[in-house]
Amino acid sequence: MTHPDKIAAVIREIAQVEIVPRFRMLAQEDIREKKPGDFVTVADLAVERALTERLRDAAPGSVVLGEEAAHEDPTRLALLGEAAPVWVIDPVDGTANFARGAPGFGVIVARVERGTVVAGWIYDPLADMMAVAERGGGAWSGGIRLAVAAEAEPSALVGAAYGRSRAGPRASKLLEDSRRIAGVRNLGCSALEYIRVAEGAAHFSLHSRSLPWDHAAGMLIVAEAGGVSRFLDGSAYDPRIADRAVLAAASPTAWETVQSVVVALA
């Protein structure tokens, strides 16, 4: 596989050209809703096009699964079950924040081989911060090895939670109302939620759907930083499964505490 630093450089270059100059400069016609509350901008489309071309060139024989291409053709998800290596791209994660001119967005890229996430990259273009992980090689940012937070009492846990339980209440409300944790702090961007856990700034990140462009890289990065990344039912994470709740946490205790409160998450 192409060296992870080279892929990181490609991601950074494209983001600095296609995302940063457009931040707070989007015209109304540069933004549209794919469905209620789900936005896409000219930056999303430009980044996905550029990354698709560059990543294919970096690894001949590989294929690309981008969020926007999959929106147009959902059958592309089947690429994850085929033999060719797959680049999974979320060109602008946190598009709702980006579209309204608020910070809190990033670029996510994962490399999947035969159903296993072997590498992941998450880039925060405003902070110029890149988190990178290779399976078995740790998680890194700027030459510093990332490490999740030390074991903490459940009452000290802080993290992110998205989605509703089968009974109706939001996962964030269930956790807040349980009074078993310190609080929920949602950024509206799964890319940055995973970085917060991997660098020890938060204890968990819970999401009700496992769309691979949102989670494949982050689940690996947290695991390589010493955390626990699984489906909420306790089974091993699999990027080929797109509709199951996922939970990444800094420790088994943190994971089990959150899971026990929101086990009914749809």
Nearest C-alpha neighbor of 38 from the set 75, 4, 79, 71: 71
pLDDT band at 1 (very low <50, low <70, confident <90, very high): low
Confidence check: pLDDT of 266 > 60: no
Mean pLDDT of 60-68: 97
Q: How confident is the model at residue 164 (pLDDT cuts 50, 70, 90)?
A: confident
- Reported pTM: 0.97
For residue 114, give every residue at least 6 positions away whose Cβ sits within 8 Å of its Cβ, in sequence order, or none: 83
Q: Are residues 141 and 188 in the same domain?
A: no
Q: Given 78, 113, 145, which residue is the final one in a domain?
A: 145
| Top-confidence residue, 76 or 165 | 76
pLDDT per residue as tens digits for the range 166-223: 778 899 999 999 999 999 999 999 999 999 999 999 999 999 999 999 999 999 999 9
Give the model's pLDDT for residue 36.
Answer: 86
Asked whether 246 and 206 are in contact (CB, 8 A), the reply is yes
Where is 205: in which H helix or E strand?
strand 204-207
Position 101 scores a pLDDT of: 97
Place of tokens 């209620």: 36
| CATH number, domain with residue 222 | 3.40.190.80
Q: How far apart are CA 192 and CA 131, in angstroms?
A: 10
- Report pLDDT digits (tens) over 140-156: 999 999 999 999 999 99
Last residue of a domain, one of 92, 112, 145: 145
pLDDT bin (cut points 50, 70, 90) of residue 51 is very high
118 in the same domain as 174? no
pLDDT at residue number 129? 98
Tokens linked to 256 = 């089990």
- For the chain, how big is the Rg over CA atoms in Å? 17
- In this structure, the answer to whether residues 30 and 129 fall within a common structural domain is yes
Residues 232 and 127 in one domain: no
Q: What band does 265 get if pLDDT is binned at 50, 70 and 90?
A: confident
Q: Would residue 66 be called left, alpha or beta, if left means φ above 0 and alpha means ψ between -120 and 50 degrees? A: beta
Predicted confidence at residue 243, as pLDDT, reads: 94
Question: Within this chain, do residues 105 and 203 fall inside the same structural domain, yes or no?
Answer: no
Together in a domain, 69 and 180: no
**pLDDT tens per residue across span 88-138:** 999 999 999 999 999 999 999 999 999 999 999 999 999 999 999 999 999
> Of 145, 174, 194, which residue sits at a domain end?
145
Total domains present in the chain: 2
pLDDT in tens, 244-258: 999 999 999 999 999
Higher pLDDT, 194 or 2: 194
Rounded CA-CA distance 80/152 in Å is 36
Tell me which of 265 and 16 has the higher pLDDT: 16
Domain region containing 112: 4-145
